[in-house]
A and B are shown apart, each in its own frame.
Chain A
Amino acid sequence: MDNKDKLKEVVDQAIANQHVPHVKLKRMGPSSVDIDKLTKPSKETHQEYWGKGLTYFAIALIIVLVVSIIGFVGYHGLATFINDHVNVFHFLTSTDWDPGEGKNHVGAAVMIVTSFLVTLLAALVATPFAIAIALYMTEYSSKKGANFLQSVTELLVGIPSVVYGFLGLTIIVPVIRKLFGGTGFGILAATLVLFVMVLPTITSLTVDSLKAVPGHFRKASMALGATHWQTIYHVVLRVATPRILTAVIFGMARAFGEALAVQMVIGNAVLMPYNLVSPSATLTSQLTSQMGNTVMGTLPNNALWSLALLLLIMSLVFNFLVKLIGKKGQK
Chain B
Amino acid sequence: MTTIISAKDVHLSYGDYEALHGINLNFKEKELTALIGPSGCGKSTFLRCLNRMNDDIENIKIAGEIKFEGQDIYDPKTDLVNLRKEVGMVFQQPTPFPFSVYDNVAYGLKIAGVKDKALIDQRVEESLKQAAIWKETKNNLNRNAQAFSGGQQQRICIARALAVRPKVVLLDEPTSALDPISSSEIEETLIDLKHQYTFIMVTHNLQQAGRISDQTAFLMNGDLIEAGPTEEVFIAPKKQITSDYLNGRFG
Contacts and interface: CB of A to CB of B under 8 A. Distances in A.
Interface string A91-124: 0000000000000000000000000000000000
Interface of A: 216-217, 219-227, 230, 234-235, 238-239, 331
Contacts of A230: 111
B112 interface: yes
Contacts of B107: 221, 224, 226, 234
Interface in B59-100: 80-85, 88-89, 91, 93, 95, 97-99
Given A234-B110, A239-B97, 16 more contacts: A216-B91, A216-B93, A219-B53, A220-B97, A220-B157, A223-B51, A223-B84, A224-B84, A224-B107, A224-B111, A224-B160, A224-B161, A225-B84, A225-B85, A227-B111, A238-B99
Given A217-B97, A227-B81, A239-B98, A234 B111 contact: yes
Given A219-B53, A331-B144, A224 B108 contact: yes
A234 B82 CA distance: 18
Contact of A225 (B91, B99, B108): B108
Contacts of B112: 225
Nearest to B170: A223
Contacts of B91: 216, 219-220, 223
B164 interface: yes
B95 A219 contact: yes
B157 A226 contact: no
A222 B85 CA distance: 10
Contacts of A216: 91, 93, 95
17 contacts: A216-B91, A216-B93, A219-B91, A220-B97, A222-B84, A223-B88, A223-B91, A224-B85, A224-B111, A225-B84, A225-B108, A226-B81, A226-B108, A227-B111, A230-B111, A234-B107, A239-B97
Interface residues of B, number: 26
A77 to B, nearest CB: 43
A220 B99 CA distance: 13
B249 to A, nearest CB: 35
Contacts of B98: 239
A142 to B, nearest CB: 10
Contacts of A226: 81, 107-108, 111
Best-surrounded residue of A220, A221, A224, A239 (most CB of chain B within 10 A): A224
Nearest to A223: B89
Interface string B117-130: 00000000000000
Contacts of B99: 238
A223 to B, nearest CB: 4
Report whether over half of chain A's contact residues are helix, strand or loop; otherwise say mixed. helix
Contacts of B144: 331
A267 to B, nearest CB: 47
Contacts of B82: 225
A217 B107 CA distance: 12
A73 B19 CA distance: 68
Contact of A235 (B89, B97, B157, B160): B97
A239 B95 CA distance: 13
Interface in B103-160: 107-108, 110-112, 144, 157, 160
Best-surrounded residue of B108, B110, B111, B144 (most CB of chain A within 10 A): B111
Contacts of A224: 84-85, 88, 107-108, 111, 160-161, 164
Contacts of A225: 80-85, 88, 108, 111-112, 164
A226 to B, nearest CB: 5
Closest 7 CB pairs of A and B: A223-B89, A225-B84, A225-B85, A220-B95, A224-B108, A216-B95, A226-B111
Contacts of A238: 97, 99
Contacts of B81: 225-227
Contacts of B157: 220
A222 B112 CA distance: 12
Contacts of B95: 216-217, 219-220
A245 to B, nearest CB: 16
B49 to A, nearest CB: 13
A234 B107 CA distance: 9
A223 B111 contact: no
Contacts of A222: 53, 80, 84
Nearest to B160: A224
A230 B109 CA distance: 12
B84 to A, nearest CB: 4
Nearest to A238: B99
A26 to B, nearest CB: 58
Nearest to A227: B81
Nearest to A226: B111
Nearest to A329: B98
A223 B160 CA distance: 11
